[in-house]
Structures are given as C-alpha cells and as structure tokens.
Chain A
C-alpha cells in the first residue's frame, strides 16, 4: 500500500489515493471478525428459514402426490399422468432449492464484499494513524494529511491531528527558544570574560546543542 502519510506536495497537487482491492483487508483480525460474524449469521438465518420453506413446500407436494395417487389408483391409464405431475412437483421443489442456494450464495458474497468495504473505512484510518505513530516513534513530526472522503473515525483522527500539531508546534517553539538561547550564550561568550576550561565545556555543549537542534529541524520538516 502506498504511504498515506506521504507529504511533500501541497494538498491540491498531491495525488489522490484510490482504494485498491488488494488493500481492502488492512486489519484482518478486526475486519474478518466482523465480516465473518455477520456473514455466518446471515447464512445461518437464510439456511434455517430456507430449509423451513423447502420442508413446507415438500410437504405440500407430497400431500398432492398422495391425493393424486388415491384418485388415480383405480385407473392404470392415469398412472402416467400421476408420474408426470409427481415429476413436475419434484422438479419444482428442486428448482426452489437451487434458487434459494443461489440467492443465499449471492447474499453472502454481496454482504461479505460490502462488509469488507465498510470495515475498511475503519481499518484505513487506523492504518494511517499507525503509520504516523511509527514516524513519531522515530522522532519525526511531519505534517499530517487528512483522511479520505468516506473514512470513518473522523473524530478520532481529528483528536490525533490536534495532538500531532500541538506537539509539532511545541517542538518548533522549543527549538526556536533553544536556538535563541544558544545564540545569546555565544554572543555573551564573545563579550564576557569566561574562565578557560569552563569556556571550552560551554562551547562543546553549545555545539552539541546546535547539532541536536539541526536534527530536530529535520524531524520537524
């Protein structure tokens, strides 16, 4: 999957991310649990009620066949008619089973696909935030891009974004404060009468702070 946290271009110029089929299962544990629950439940209900429908239909067909057999038992010539009717009823019942299986399978497939898409709208934002978390773990506090249209957990993402921007703003402010202090101390050092060894240690500390601030600047870029 392309990095949803990628930055570098303004929002208007940034290429829009399109959902790919292969990326729909971002969080298998979360998504499959819900998809399987709803799908299996629906399949169970459809199967049970479908069996009831078939059972009732078969009972009616058997009743008709039985009555027909009683009516035609006196005449051997009617046996063919009875067989014809029986075969017709059986094939109707069989067709009903096929129809119900087809409808059930279609329902399961459509429902599963829809649920994968639905859960992807939750797993997608979580995936994106996880990637930002990984960046934060590495000390990188770059800009945060918004979620795609239709994504869920917008409130949660908004909280995350607020936090991220607050951290970034505070880190930038701290960076500026430290730069100002370091610069001020260097200026003072040139003017004041610092003691020899201590002066060398202060220079080293300020150099280290400069390196640190340079790294921090890169992290905030």
Chain B
C-alpha cells in the first residue's frame, strides 16, 4: 500500500492500486472471497453432477431410440440364388415316388410305370420338366441347359420290359442306377441386391454417426461446465479480492492514521481513493481526528495564555512555566 506523504493541499492525491498490495487484510479478504468462491464451486460441482447424470440418461435414451430404428438387412447371397425372398413360397418338394406325375408342362404323358424320376430343381430358370417321358439321362441334360450342367449322363434307368409289356403283367419294381455326377451352380444376383446393401450400410453409418454426435454432445456439456466453472472460480477469486480490497484499503489507511495518533501525531488526513468503500466510516474518522486536533488546539490556546501571563507577571523562569512550555511545544508539534 502506498505510504502517506503530504502532497497537494486539497488532500485528493490519487494513488494507483497495485496488484502486489491487493491482499492487505488477509483474514477479512480471504474469508469473504473464499466463501464466495466456495459457494460457487459447490453449486457448479453439485449441479454439474446433476446435469451430467441427466445428460447421460438422455444420451442413453437417444441411443436406444436410434437403435430401435432397424436398418434393412443385407440380403444373403444364398437366398438370392434360390431366386426368392423370404416371403416367397418354398419350392415344391419333389416326390420320391416314381409313379407320381409331377406338375408342369407335359406333352405326352407316359404310363405310370414308365414315368421317369424327376430331379430336384437346380436353379431358377432351369426347365425341370422339359421332357418328362425321356430317360433320366436326357432329362438331366435338358434340365441343366446352357452349359450349366455339363455333366455326363447322370443316371440310367433300366426299366426292364417297360415298352410293350402290360403293366398288369410286369412287376412294379424297377431298378434305378445312379451314376456319379457333378453339378455347378452359379448364383443369380437379384436386381435390387446392390441397392439393399447400400441402404443397409447407409443406415448403419448414419446410426454410428448419430451415436458419435450424441457422445460428442455429452462431452461438450461436460467440458463446457468444467471450463465455465474454472473460469468462474478464477474470475470470482480475483474480483472478490479486488472488491474486498476496496473495504480493506480504507481500513488500512485508517489503521495508519490510528498508529500516528497513538504516537501523538495528528497529521493532515487525506481523502480516500476513487472507488473505495467505507466512505461514511472514513468521514466519521475524519471528524474524530478533527475533534482530537481541536482538543490539542484548545490546550495550546490555554497553555499559551497562561505562559504569556506568567511571563508578563515575571514568573517566566518558574519551573511550572517551563513544564508548560514543554507541553505547549509538544502539542504544537503534534498538529503540524
């Protein structure tokens, strides 16, 4: 704090506040500043935890909501190769009875005994019943056209006595010999396969983006509160010290004058700095100071009168007068 020096007679010298002197009454200033900072910190932390708890709940709910929006499934290639969707009816199960005539475009219907074995449909677009009356070798070749089945004759049916013999005479047993065969199937991709895959992954990416955005929003709230809280606490600490300094400053100044008065010196009292508080209190102090100075002046007047009268009466050398002179000198010096 700046020391008191006599300067302008008006008593309105302007002191500049220095940061070094900000804390001049630790007990008072720290108590009020720390209380203010403590309350703020408590509120920020307490309500901050509450905010984060609710924000976490909101994030969880929002994520659940996003998860609830089902993305279109990626079609399985095997299903597509079968050429039907899940909603399509299943393919007809071929009969295991050789005497049954399968449905389909048939020309000449052979006798039941001569009915060939119907192979299972291999792929979409195949013609499973192109030549029902033909031997299985021919049928297999017909059933896998366009080179999809380049296998050798797969089976030979030895239907002994099938032609020209009466069904009633012949036993119904037939001998079926199935040779080793192989078949290569090439899946046929449905026309909307690509669009469905793209739609699926767009949905997945959009959901992932939404999750990330929600997490970012939650983190933003957390960081915003932390930064705001720290800045608020620091700002309040500085502001609190400055605010209490405007009270502690006048008290410090009055304290300096009190020390001087205790030592018997009644110097001129200067005004407070601009912005200081306790102006009324300081006015009271100035009046008190003035009152004490007036007491000294009254003493000086009386003492001077007595000393002058004593000197006029020829008692100037009296020890009592000498003592009064000393007293007068001290009092005059005290109010210089």
Contacts and interface: CB of A to CB of B under 8 A. Distances in A.
Contacts, number: 213
Nearest to B255: A159
Interface stretch (B45-53, B72-80, B99-107, B175-183): B45-53
A156 B277 CA distance: 16
Interface in B33-89: 35-36, 39-40, 43-44, 47-48, 50-51, 54-55, 57-58, 61-62, 64-65, 68
A59 B62 contact: yes
A177 B254 CA distance: 30
A100 to B, nearest CB: 9
Interface in A84-109: 107
Contacts of B57: 56-57, 60
A42 B319 CA distance: 71
Interface stretch (A1-9, A13-21, A73-81, A181-189): A181-189
Given A29-B277, A63-B65, A204 B262 contact: no
Interface string A149-165: 00011011001101100
Contacts of A118: 32, 35
A208 B287 contact: no
A134 B64 CA distance: 74
The binding surface of chain B is classed by DSSP as helix
Contacts of B278: 30, 126
Contacts of A155: 25, 27
Given A42-B40, A152-B27, A185-B321, A202 B61 contact: no
B58 A63 contact: yes
A208 B302 contact: yes
Contact of B28 (A45, A50, A53, A152): A152
Contacts of A202: 306, 309-310, 312-313, 315
Interface in A31-52: 33-34, 37-38, 41-42, 45-46, 49-50, 52
A49 B58 contact: no
B284 A159 contact: no
B243 interface: yes
B315 A192 contact: yes
Interface residues of A, number: 76
Contacts of B288: 132-137
A49 B65 contact: no
B43 A42 contact: yes
Contacts of B310: 185, 202, 205
B58 A57 contact: yes
Interface residue tally on B, bucketed by range: 35 or more
B313 A184 contact: no
B305 A208 contact: yes
Given A67-B68, A209-B302, A134 B284 contact: yes
12 contacts: A46-B47, A49-B225, A57-B57, A137-B287, A153-B251, A159-B259, A163-B258, A166-B262, A174-B331, A178-B299, A182-B306, A184-B320
Interface of B: 25, 27-28, 31-32, 35-36, 39-40, 43-44, 47-48, 50-51, 54-55, 57-58, 61-62, 64-65, 68, 221, 225, 232, 236, 243, 247, 251, 254-255, 258-259, 261-264, 277-278, 280-281, 284-285, 287-292, 294-295, 298-299, 302-303, 305-306, 308-310, 312-315, 318-321, 323-324, 327, 331
Interface of A: 27, 29-30, 33-34, 37-38, 41-42, 45-46, 49-50, 52-53, 56-57, 59-60, 63-64, 66-67, 70, 107, 111, 118, 122, 126, 129-130, 132-139, 152-153, 155-156, 159-160, 162-163, 166-167, 170-171, 174, 177-178, 180-182, 184-185, 188-189, 192, 194-195, 198-199, 201-202, 204-206, 208-209, 212, 216, 219
In the A-B complex, list the 10 residue pairs whose CB atoms are closest, starting with the nearest: A133-B288, A137-B291, A136-B288, A184-B320, A49-B47, A205-B309, A137-B287, A198-B313, A133-B284, A202-B309
